[in-house]
Amino acid sequence: MIYMINCSYKGRTSNSRYFLGLLEKEIKKYSDTECVVKNIKNIIVRGFDDFVEDIKGAEALVIGAPLYVDGLPAQVVKLLEMIMERCADEFPAIPVYVVSNLGFYEPQQIRPLFDIVKNWCDKIGTVYGGGIAVGAGPMVRIIQEKSLPAVLYRKVDQDFSKLAKAVEQGQAVENIYCSSAVPRGVYLKYAHKMFNKALRENK
């Protein structure tokens, strides 16, 4: 079983959940390993003990988290703290992967987030398996969901496929930084149009 955590407080509708779904779809192409997706809120608020039990039966952990203020969202730091404080000894030595997305265009801005998860893995004695960062994540989701020409997001699909193979085989990969083929200026204009529309509607 592959244990995935959707770390966005937006829950089911979040981009993090969407990108975990992409990974899950790719994993299913290679194997019939079950993927379980849980919301972080349920784990840190009331289900921590269940999480600790369940993770012992997992082959890998996948943290699906957005970039918040250049790092991990606070609720994810909280989860890492809880594991460190309460059950570091019992935590299985399984590979930990990261699926992350961000609002800015350049996926490289995710770097501290990956490093924080790696540092945590080193401290609790488990293995950092690598991560994928999707630049302009909200837009990548829209162009995929609207089935715009595949050439715009072919590279994203290829990168998720690469990570899926690694997760399925329990191997580590170099961090993957992926973007769509939509130019930065186009994304910026599109995002501004959306922000202005929302501001007008909320007046």
Partner 1 sequence: MKLIIHDLTEEQLKSSGLDTLPADTYRFVNSLEIDRYCIGCFGCWLKTPGRCIITDRFQQMGELIAQVDEVVIIAKETFGSYSSSVKNVLDRSISYVEPFFEIRNGEMHHKERYIKPLMFSAVFYGADITEAEEETSRRLVQANAVNLNGTIGFVKFMESPDMVKEVLA
Ligand X SMILES: Cc1cc2nc3c(=O)[nH]c(=O)nc-3n(C[C@H](O)[C@H](O)[C@H](O)COP(=O)(O)O)c2cc1C
Cα–Cα distance, 80 to 102 (Å, whole number): 20
70 belongs to the binding site for ligand X (CB under 6 A) = yes
Radius of gyration of the chain (CA): 17
Residues 4-43, interacting with partner 1 (CB under 8 A): 8-10, 14
Q: Which two tokens stand for residue 186?
A: 């186009």
Q: Mask: binding to ligand X, 89-108, rule CB under 6 A, as x and -?
A: ------------xxxx----
Which among ligand X, partner 1, none contacts residue 175 (Cβ within 5 to 8 A by kind)? Answer: none
3-state secondary structure at position 46: coil
Dihedral (CA of 143, 130, 111, 13) sign: positive
Residues 113-132 within binding reach of partner 1 (CB under 8 A): 115-120, 122-123
2-6 and 35-39: which strand pairing? parallel
**Nearest to ligand X of 68, 92 (CB atom):** 68
Cα–Cα dist 195/183, whole Å: 19
Q: Buried (b) or exposed (e) across 10-49, using 16+ Cβ within 10 A?
A: eeeebbbbbbbbbbbebbeeeeeeebebbbbeebbeebbe
Handedness of CA 52, 58, 64, 70 (dihedral sign): positive
Is 21 among the residues that bind ligand X (CB under 6 A)? no
**Binding to ligand X (CB under 6 A): which residues in 139-198?**
none
Q: Considering the complex, state which of residue 89 and residue 199 has its C-beta at the smaller distance from ligand X.
A: 199
Residue 106's binding partner among ligand X, partner 1, none (Cβ under 5 to 8 angstroms by kind) is partner 1
Closest distance of CB 32 from partner 1, Å: 33
Q: Which residues contact 50 (CB under 8 A, 6 or more apart)?
A: none
- Interaction between residue 131 and ligand X (CB under 6 A): no
User: Contact between 16 and ligand X (CB under 6 A)?
Assistant: yes
CB 131 to ligand X: min, Å: 14
- Out of ligand X, partner 1, none, what residue 137 binds, judged by CB under 5 to 8 A for its kind, is ligand X
Three-state secondary-structure class, residue 146: coil
66 touches ligand X (CB under 6 A): yes
Residues that bind partner 1 (CB under 8 A): 8-10, 14, 66, 68-75, 77-78, 80-81, 104-106, 109, 111-112, 115-120, 122-123, 184, 188, 191-192, 195, 198-199, 202
